[in-house]
Structure 1
Amino acid sequence: MSNPFKTVASSNISISELMLPSHTNFSGKIHGGYILSLLDQIAFACASKFSGNYCVTASVDTVNFLNPIEVGELVTMKASVNYVGKSSMIIGIRVESENIQTGKIKHCNSSYFTMVSKDKDGTNARVPGLILSNLEEVRRFCNCLKQIALKKEQDRHEENFNYSATETLASLQKYNVQVALD
């Protein structure tokens, strides 16, 4: 690779799509599963553009559905690389919908996908380093560092936590749950 570093801006990608009646759920709003499919597509495109390789989704770290999307609205998704590791990237995606009659824009979703770069043989491929060009990009990168640390701490907790301990089972009584073990 000739340039071992790339700017966040070099990863920027956006897509827009008009929401049709065929995209709705039973309540008449745009189905969250349809939006998730679009999110995965733009995460792939963003990661592949930045890395120059085929990329796969390793995890969907956060998906916050903030506002419903209506039929007839124009949905725009904006994605960029927020963090890079050796072969992985965290892609941040912002989803906005626009009422094309009134021009009103609302923030509908924020999502973070971890994507992994693959070479032709399907093994992990190194990604370029990331050039942070402004404080907003630094903030996003630092937030990813926190997100990674929280994930590691959660994994450690899962490994070490004793779910069958008498104290643990007794502490569940304060919740709306009944433990009925065989």
Structure 2
Amino acid sequence: MTENNKISFQFISEPTDINFGGKVHGGMVMKWIDQTAYTCARNWAETYCVTVYVGGIRFLKPISIGEVIKINAYVIYTGNTSIHIAVDVYSRSFDQKGFEKKTHCVIVFVSVNKNGQPVEVKKWEPKSEKEKKLEEYAQKLKTLREQISNEMKPFFEE
């Protein structure tokens, strides 16, 4: 994918990626997600970006050692300074033709300047019906995060 609102990485899972159960561990998948999503956000923002939220991560099926991994990251919503990226992780063995979805999440970045202060990002405009639905999904997740944050405030006050 070459558009600056999406990116795709492909590679092979390695022996160092596995847990004691012999499958790729969730922390490694989360690292891949962050790297791919960061690249997508950075391409979109054209500035340094910081991760501010990872949510709704769903591990659907395990990934085995030696599988081909494909990670798609794509912009689904932009705020004033934030870029919301959906990430889908797929894998397949070499004897399979198609990839199978293994993990999904949404990760939010904020574009920052050299002093770490948030800076405005260009607006992403959905074009297809699917993109419009993904933007609605991102907005719903944003509302849910705000509600949860407000409910949890009393537990995090000093």
Task: Could you list the structure 1 runs, at least 4 aligned residues long, displaced by more than 6 angstroms after superposition.
Answer: none
Residue 139 of structure 1: aligned partner:
133
Tell me how many residue pairs correspond in the alignment: 153
Residues 98-136 of structure 1 show CA distances to partners (whole Å, capped at 9, x for unaligned) of 111232421100011010101122211110011211010
Quick check: 1:120 aligned with 2:114? yes
Q: Distance in 2 between matches of 1:115 and 1:43?
A: 9
How do 1:33-112 and structure 2 match up within 5 A?
33-112=27-106
Q: Distance in 1 between matches of 2:116 and 2:133?
A: 32
Q: Distance in 2 between matches of 1:143 and 1:122?
A: 28
Quick check: 1:32 aligned with 2:20? no
Residue 12 of structure 2: aligned partner:
18
How do 1:166-177 and structure 2 match up within 5 A?
none
- Structure 1 position 160, deviation (Å): 6.5
Q: Distance in 1 between matches of 2:96 and 2:148?
A: 44
CA contact (8 A) 2:4 2:40 kept: no
TM-score of the superposition, structure 1-length normalised? 0.80
SS in structure 1 at match of 2:22: coil
Residues 65-122 of structure 1 show CA distances to partners (whole Å, capped at 9, x for unaligned) of 0000011110100001111001111110011001112324211000110101011222
Residues 121-154 of structure 1 show CA distances to partners (whole Å, capped at 9, x for unaligned) of 2211110011211010000000111111111122
Quote the sequence identity (%): 28
Q: Can you give the 5+ residue segments of structure 2 that lack an aligned partner in the other structure?
A: none
SS in structure 2 at match of 1:113: strand
- Structure 1 position 59, deviation (Å): 1.1
Which structure: larger Rg? 1
TM-score of the superposition, structure 2-length normalised? 0.91
Quick check: 1:157 aligned with 2:151? yes
SS in structure 2 at match of 1:28: coil
Q: Distance in 1 between matches of 2:89 and 2:61?
A: 10
